[in-house]
Amino acid sequence: MHNDNDSLTHPPLAARVATKAHFFISGLLFASWGVHVPTVRKLYDLGEAELAWLMLAASLGAIIALTRVGNWVARHGARPVVLVGGLMICLPLALLVHMPGYFSAMATLFVFGLATGTLDVAMNAEAVAVEDAYARPIMSSFHGFFSLGGMAGALIGSAVAAAGVTPAVHLALVAVGGFIGVWIAARYMLPTEHTHSPEHADAPFRLPRGVLLLLGMLAAFGLIGEGAMYDWSTLYMVRVLDSPAAVAALAYGAFSAAMAAGRFGGDYVRARLGSARTLRVSAWLAAISMIAALIIAQSWAALAGFALVGVGFSNIIPVLFSAAAKVPGVPAAQGIAAVSGAGYVGFMIGPPMIGFLAHGWGLGVGLIVVAVFAALVALLARRAMATTM
User: Across residues 311-319, what is the average pLDDT?
Assistant: 89
Instruction: Tell me the percentage of the chain whose pLDDT exceeds 70.
Output: 90
What is the predicted pLDDT for the residue at 6? Answer: 42
Residues 382, 247: one domain?
Answer: yes
DSSP state of 387: G
Residue 5 covered by a domain: no
Residues 32, 71: one domain?
Answer: yes
Bigger pLDDT: 269 vs 194: 269
Neighbouring residues of 199: CB distance < 8 A, sequence distance ≥ 6: 74
What is the predicted pLDDT for the residue at 247? Answer: 86
What is the predicted pLDDT for the residue at 72? Answer: 81
Domain's final residue, options 146, 169, 194? 194
Model confidence at 5, in pLDDT bands (50, 70, 90)?
A: very low
Bigger pLDDT: 327 vs 27: 27
Bigger pLDDT: 265 vs 204: 265
Model confidence at 337, in pLDDT bands (50, 70, 90)?
A: low
CA separation for the pair 389, 65 (Å, rounded): 32
| Contact assessment for residue 123 and residue 78, using Cβ atoms and an 8 Å cutoff | yes
Residue 75 covered by a domain: yes
Residue 303 covered by a domain: yes
CA separation for the pair 340, 65 (Å, rounded): 13
The tens digit of pLDDT for each residue in 13-72 reads 899 999 999 999 999 998 898 888 888 888 888 887 888 888 888 888 887 887 777 778
Domain's final residue, options 166, 194, 222? 194
Of the spans 108-122, 131-145, 282-296, 373-387, which averages the highest pLDDT?
A: 282-296
Residues 216, 179: one domain?
Answer: no
What is the predicted pLDDT for the residue at 24? Answer: 96
Residue 201 covered by a domain: no
DSSP state of 204: P
Residues 346, 265: one domain?
Answer: yes
Q: Structural domain tally of the chain?
A: 2
The tens digit of pLDDT for each residue in 135-179 reads 766 777 888 898 889 888 988 988 988 888 899 999 999 999 999
CA angle 322, 224, 385 (to 5 degrees): 30
| Contact assessment for residue 343 and residue 216, using Cβ atoms and an 8 Å cutoff | yes
The tens digit of pLDDT for each residue in 304-314 reads 999 999 999 99
Q: Which pTM was predicted?
A: 0.75
Residue 203 covered by a domain: no
Residue 202 covered by a domain: no
What is the predicted pLDDT for the residue at 373? Answer: 94
CA separation for the pair 354, 347 (Å, rounded): 12
302 HSE (CA, 13 A, CB side): 26
The tens digit of pLDDT for each residue in 343-365 reads 877 877 777 888 888 888 888 88
What is the predicted pLDDT for the residue at 2? Answer: 43
What is the predicted pLDDT for the residue at 296? Answer: 92
Q: What is the CATH number of the domain that holds 298?
A: 1.20.1250.20
- Is the pLDDT at 376 greater than 80, yes or no? yes
Residues 168, 214: one domain?
Answer: no
What is the predicted pLDDT for the residue at 205? Answer: 60
User: Across residues 196-200, what is the average pLDDT?
Assistant: 61
The tens digit of pLDDT for each residue in 253-286 reads 888 889 888 988 877 787 788 888 999 999 999 9
Residues 215, 77: one domain?
Answer: no
Range(s) of the domain holding residue 72: 10-194
Name which of 123-137, 195-209, 318-332, 369-383 the model is least confident about.
195-209
Domain's final residue, options 194, 218, 245? 194
Residues 176, 215: one domain?
Answer: no
In order, the DSSP letters of 316-381 are: HHHHHHHHHTT-TTS-HHHHHHHHHHHHHHHHHHHHHHHHHHHHHH-HHHHTHHHHHHHHHHHHHH
Q: Which amino acid is located at 296 in the chain?
A: I
- Is the pLDDT at 9 greater than 50, yes or no? no
Residues 228, 174: one domain?
Answer: no
What is the predicted pLDDT for the residue at 3? Answer: 44
Residues 172, 288: one domain?
Answer: no
Residues 65, 103: one domain?
Answer: yes
What is the predicted pLDDT for the residue at 1? Answer: 43
What is the predicted pLDDT for the residue at 180? Answer: 96
Mean pLDDT of the chain: 84
Residue 4 covered by a domain: no
Residue 1 covered by a domain: no
CA separation for the pair 131, 138 (Å, rounded): 6
What is the predicted pLDDT for the residue at 230? Answer: 74
CA separation for the pair 136, 247 (Å, rounded): 40
What is the predicted pLDDT for the residue at 11? Answer: 54
Q: Please name which of 177, 169, 160, 182 lies closest in space to residue 115, comparing C-alpha atoms.
A: 182
What is the predicted pLDDT for the residue at 29? Answer: 94
User: Across residues 187-208, what is the average pLDDT?
Assistant: 70
State the CB neighbour count (10 A cutoff) for residue 75. 15
User: Across residues 199-210, what is the average pLDDT?
Assistant: 64
- Is the pLDDT at 324 greater than 80, yes or no? no
CA separation for the pair 5, 187 (Å, rounded): 17
CA separation for the pair 361, 335 (Å, rounded): 38
Residues 140, 228: one domain?
Answer: no
Residues 51, 171: one domain?
Answer: yes
CA 133 from centre of chain: 24
